[in-house]
Structure 1
Amino acid sequence: MKTIILLFLFAQKCFAFDLPRTGCKTDLTIDKDHYNVTEIYNTGDAEPTDAHFDTKGNLFFVVFGRNFNGYYYDIKVIKPNSTTAQNIPGLPERESYSVAVDKKESKVYFGTSKGIYTYNYESQDATLISKPDIKLNSLLVDKDGNTYITSSPEGHEQLYLLKGNEKIHFKGFDALEEVAVDDKNNFYYIREEKFFVLKSNLSHAVFIGNVSYEGLGQITFHREYVFVASETLSYIHENDTGPMKLVQGVPANVTAMAFDRSGNFVLGTKGKILKYKANDKECYQRKN
């Protein structure tokens, strides 16, 4: 009996190194941070794009799909503690393309084929705030509250600053595929599957790296990192010049990404939005 006990203690001592704790399964890793899927939101046959959290934790996003009426873009919202996406009353059906969040003023704007709308938190519907004849494909708001739109009057995407109902063309931003502005007023954009940045203190754009793009995607920001969700998920530190780093473990063909105030995020892919939460467990321990 004494021999058996000694063998058991010896085995425990020899093999009790780096034992995984419960709850340590990781679905996705970005640098040294581990994340797990905690919620899955259904979007039917549609693909989510242009996702944004507001300061209250609401997730606004666009769904792109096709039904018997043809192709459509609709904006939806998932409210905190809800697992169901809801329509937003007041928005044009099938022609609502873009979401922009002014975090400084706690406002949410929607870009549509019939003008720009804002979200009314009391009535929880959308109200038109521009002339309905403003044609746009996407909508952006910088850190100072300036509004930008993209449209394609000559068959390729161009960027404009809005001053009231006047459009001021930004030269050098033509033939865009995706564009976004960070909280330092740096503009990041994709053109012909190449990723560029025009920093606020520079007069010319800088090439960062190659990215995949097939018509749907999103550029988003978190802390000092820039992410591109387009087929794959790639990222780079804002002070680096490339190449892009690829995130492993993402679902196929991601088309949207948004971070909340806690640093958790969602990824959009066809038919669903997945919510990822940081796994802060110490997954391995060493016993003496």
Structure 2
Amino acid sequence: MRALKKIIAIYFTTFFINVNGEKCERIKIGDEFYKRHLLATIDGYPTGIVIDPKTENIFFMLNKRNYTKGIYLLRHGSLGVKELLISDDIIGQCVGIDSVNNIIYIGTNQGLVTYDYSRSEINTERPIGDDDVRNIFIDKTDNQMYITTGSNHEIFKFINGSAAVKRFDKVPKAYNFVLDPQGNAFYEFVDGRLYFLSVDLYEPVQYKGFTRELKFILQLSNNDEAIVAVKGSMFKLNTKSILPTKIGRLGFKITGMAFDFRNNIVIGTKGKIYRYKPIDSNDPCPSDDYFMSSI
């Protein structure tokens, strides 16, 4: 009987720790509190994270020291990541998801190719163009696709869903950029600084308060706000102020960031990929987080 009571006491002590200890730590990002879940442990650091809204699969570039190991896929609910095999002479450099037409685009040093879920492979037989594609942005408002090409990081947009492109004059050069639903552009220029170009202005405006960085992580949130990650912090950008608004500090260097339709935030850092889930204010310790949340 004593042994049984001891086991019950250990169980309830463990349960209490899970409810009130580490597994219930919260972090505030913006106006909401989030809880962190470990999705995957990887050998390297993930960049260029994108989420397929239909499958909730996660694509990312896996980097190790000074070279890129390739494009990887973390399937929803899976415990491990898988490399997407590609020809030896083709280098995968970014991923863009056209959810309207259900197409996964892979930007490479030899044009745009696609990924086929049914065959679990990258189809390189009919590439779109032969440009060195460094970045892909697909505007959710009109499904317009933009690509950043070459070492000069020039931006082009596709014309009427065809394979023909024309230069995007609003942002002549950039490492990456996003357009909000109003048509305001936020981008990292090739001088390593962040700018915005408002639809109400004729000239770009530089954000203040950042030291010069290479490769800011710039994304649109689920609320269509421009969010930038710098080192271990996240900032919100708008066209009303040249000062970014800090919305969260994660305590580690952020190497990749993406937002899904459930208001979750997927964050990459060295060796790990996390998902930050909003906490229900009525249930600050959700039951599905009590056990096995970090497997």
TM-score computed with the length of structure 2 as normaliser: 0.74
Letter in 2 for 1:52: V
Q: CA deviation at 1:235?
A: 2.5
8 Å Cα contact 2:96/2:137 also seen in 1: yes
Letter in 2 for 1:137: R
Other-structure match for 1:116: 112
8 Å Cα contact 1:189/1:196 also seen in 2: yes
SS at match of 1:130: strand
- Unmatched segments (≥5 aa) in structure 1: 1-20
Q: How does 1:63-142 map to 2 (within 5 A)?
A: 63-66=62-65, 71-72=67-68, 74-90=70-86, 95-128=91-124, 129-131=126-128, 133-142=130-139
Q: For residues 60 and 80 of structure 1, do their structure 2 counterparts lie closer, same or farther at Cα, with a shift above 3 Å needed?
A: same
Deviations 1:5-40 (A, max 9, x none): xxxxxxxxxxxxxxxx84784442113311111124
Q: Percent identity?
A: 21
- Are 1:227 and 2:227 counterparts? yes
Q: CA deviation at 1:62?
A: 1.4
8 Å Cα contact 1:232/1:246 also seen in 2: no
SS at match of 1:179: strand
SS at match of 2:186: strand
Q: For residues 148 and 32 of structure 1, do their structure 2 counterparts lie closer, same or farther at Cα, with a shift above 3 Å needed?
A: closer
- Are 1:243 and 2:240 counterparts? no
Q: CA deviation at 1:127?
A: 1.8
Q: CA deviation at 1:196?
A: 2.1
Give 1 or 2: higher strand fraction.
Answer: 1
Q: CA deviation at 1:165?
A: 5.0
Q: CA deviation at 1:79?
A: 1.0
Greater relative CO (CA pairs within 8 A, separation 6+): 1
Deviations 1:189-248 (A, max 9, x none): 012343222345755434444445643442111204221123233332646434212244
Q: CA deviation at 1:93?
A: 7.6
Q: CA deviation at 1:113?
A: 0.9
RMSD (CA atoms): 3.0
Q: CA deviation at 1:282?
A: 4.4
Letter in 2 for 1:35: Y
8 Å Cα contact 1:157/1:176 also seen in 2: yes
Q: CA deviation at 1:131?
A: 4.3
Other-structure match for 2:271: 271
Letter in 1 for 2:123: T
Moved more, 172-181 or 82-91: 172-181
Structure 1: distance between partners of 2:108 and 2:182? 26
Match 2:47 to one of 23, 46, 49: 49
Structure 2: distance between partners of 1:212 and 1:73? 29
Other-structure match for 2:259: 259
Structure 2: distance between partners of 1:241 and 1:148? 26
Letter in 1 for 2:144: N
Structure 2: distance between partners of 1:103 and 1:183? 17
SS at match of 1:140: strand
8 Å Cα contact 2:192/2:214 also seen in 1: no
8 Å Cα contact 1:73/1:96 also seen in 2: no
- Structure with greater Cα Rg: 1
SS at match of 1:277: strand
Structure 1: distance between partners of 2:120 and 2:258? 21
8 Å Cα contact 2:115/2:123 also seen in 1: yes
Q: How many residues align?
A: 258
